[in-house]
Amino acid sequence: MYSNKDLRKLLIPLIVEQILSALMGIADTLMVSNVGAAALSGVSLVDTINNLMLMAMMALASGGTVVCAQFLGRKDEPSAKKAAGQLLFCCIVASAVPALICMAFAGPLLRLIYGGIEADVMAAATTYFLITAASYLFFGIQQAAASIFRAEGQTRTPMMVSLASNLLNIVGNAVLIFGLHLGVAGAAWATLLSRVVGALVMQVLVSRRDQRKLVIDSPKLLTPEWRLIRMVLKIGVPAGLENGLFQLGKLIVASTVSTLGTAAISAQAMITMVEGIHGYPGQAIGIGLMTVAGTCMGAGKVEETKYYTRKLCIISECSMLIMAAIIAVTLQPIVKIAALTPEAAELFIQIMIISLFTKSIFWVCSFTLPNTLRASGDAAFCSAVSAASMWTFRVGLSFILCRFMGVGLIGVWIGWYIDWVCRDIFYIWRYRSGKWATKTVID
């Protein structure tokens, strides 16, 4: 169903989008780091909360991608178009509610999670959280529209809009942080503005009557149709809970890291940022795999689904090795640019070297492979494995190593590495069993 040319057309924009977004994120962090260690620490702690919300919305949008792709694979374009409208409706509701809650209770939430941090870090975190929480709604709209494009295999448009949005964020940071000297508030307002613009542009594009099949050209498409909503939620809710719990686990880990001192917090912020880049090509390929596998399963072509799964996992593994080599030679320049303290720099280098090796071996089967299971309707199994493994190792073991065994920041990452190995075992077993191929998504 997909030629090599089709796969390149699908995957390359996704990979470029993920890498550019990561690079823009690093530039964002580096700009904030020049405001001071307290500002960097406050922003990194809030970003952990923000990522909890944003990843949940991305997962919900991915559920819509699968439903739309399966309808398109079945050649049922009217139902695919209706499902696209329900996806947008779900994302609007699911992003507006947490935005209002976080804006209303920004201070109490931060004190509940990070009550023990220093006063200047808390002040920076509160300012940043209050403003960026307002961007959830616009991020949700942008992700819904992007997922609609991706369900058709059109990834170039979301890439271009994401690039423009991220560039706007960087320019906004430069003007508001360095020009107007607004500090953390300037970084937050730049983020909000970039997401507002991104949402508006994607909404205009997804509404245009052109050659695309999935066009939201009527308000009637946003009228709730519970049959289609249930299909979207069947994939989106387990994936959203999985991502939400994943980010919640990171939030709890961040709370543990916050007790290790400012150096550990700063090192963790940079490690998380750079380590994330390592996996972004694989993550992009996993997003593409959901479209490919969803379309193949919608057409009832299980063997083709297996073929593309193997092919895209191999491509994902190759991308991991290439990114590991690139990052390895840039660690020292990153330390200098980020102006990390000697203690934070030492932690950063040590943990990154271990992570580059470990992630290259275990990450693909933990995060790329299960997208085939999700695209077939086996999202609940993925969520169960993810939650059990994460809370046992990524959260539980990390807490024990840091709090009771005095291992320090490396203890956090030991828990993460074991989590990857556990996921590998269960996901490979499930894939080889073939049970995922008996699941259904659409009626």
Residue 217 covered by a domain: yes
- What percent of the chain has a predicted confidence (pLDDT) above 90? 18
pLDDT at 372 over 90: yes
> What pLDDT, on a 0 to 100 scale, did the predictor assign at position 60?
81
CA distance 291 to 372: 9
Buried b (16+ CB within 10 A) or exposed e, 142-173: bbbbbbbbbbbbbbebbbebbbebbebbbebb
Instruction: Give the Cα separation of 185 and 190 in Å (integer).
Output: 9
The tokens describing 111, both together, are: 């004190």
Confidence at 312, pLDDT banded by 50, 70, 90: very high
pLDDT at position 22: 67
H helix or E strand, kind and range, residue 195: helix 184-207
Given pLDDT bands bounded at 50, 70 and 90, which one contains residue 366?
very high
Whether 443 is in a domain gets the answer: no
Number of H helices, E strands in the chain: 17, 0
**Per-residue tokens: 15:** 């990979």
Structural domains in the chain (count): 1
Q: Is 6 left (phi over 0), alpha (psi -120 to 50) or beta?
A: alpha
pLDDT value of position 266: 78
Mean per-residue pLDDT of the chain = 84
Judged on CB neighbours under 10 Å (0-12, 13-18, 19+), 208 is: exposed
- pLDDT, tens only, 141-193: 998 888 888 888 888 888 888 888 888 888 888 888 888 877 788 888 888 89
DSSP 220: G
Question: Taking the chain, what is the end-to-end CA distance rounded to the nearest angstrom?
Answer: 22
Residue 299 is classified by DSSP as: T
Tell me, yes or no, whether 358 lies in a domain.
Answer: yes
One DSSP character per residue, 309-376 reads HHHHHHHHHHHHHHHHHHHHTTHHHHHHHHT--HHHHHHHHHHHHHHHHHHHHHHHHHHTTHHHHHHH
Most confident of 11-20, 322-331, 397-406: 322-331
User: Can you give the pLDDT at residue 234?
Assistant: 79
- pLDDT for the residue numbered 307: 93
What one-character DSSP code corresponds to residue 259? G
Between residues 198 and 1, the one the model is more confident about: 198
Interatomic CA distance for residues 7 and 16, integer angstroms: 14
pLDDT digit string, tens, across residues 202-233: 988 888 877 677 888 777 877 877 888 888 88
CA 106 – CA 53 distance, rounded (Å) = 14
Q: Judge whether 281 lies within some domain.
A: yes
Structural element, H or E, at residue 7: helix 4-33
Residues 74-82: what's their mean pLDDT? Answer: 85
Dig out the tokens for 98 from the structure: 């947490």
pLDDT band, residue 116 (cuts 50/70/90): low
User: Is residue 396 included in any domain, yes or no?
Assistant: yes
DSSP string over 27-76 = HHHHHHHTT-HHHHHHHHHHHHHHHHHHHHHHHHHHHHHHHHHHHHHTT-
Question: What single DSSP character describes residue 211?
Answer: S
Residues 6+ apart with CB under 8 A from 225: 82, 86
Q: What is the pLDDT of residue 24?
A: 66
Q: What is the pLDDT of residue 158?
A: 87
Model confidence pLDDT, tens digit, residues 49-73: 787 787 778 878 887 888 888 888 8
When pLDDT is cut at 50, 70 and 90, the band that residue 26 belongs to is low
The percent of residues in the chain predicted with pLDDT above 70, rounded, is 94
- Residue 25: band (very low, low, confident or very high) from pLDDT cuts 50, 70, 90: low
- Contact (Cβ atoms closer than 8 angstroms) between residue 28 and residue 187: yes
Residue 117, pLDDT > 90, answer no
Residue 355 in tokens: 């992570």
Confidence (pLDDT) at 325: 92
* pLDDT of 433: 92
pLDDT at 419: 92
Domain hosting 123: range is 4-438
Q: Which two structure tokens, joined as six digits, stand for 421? A: 């190995």
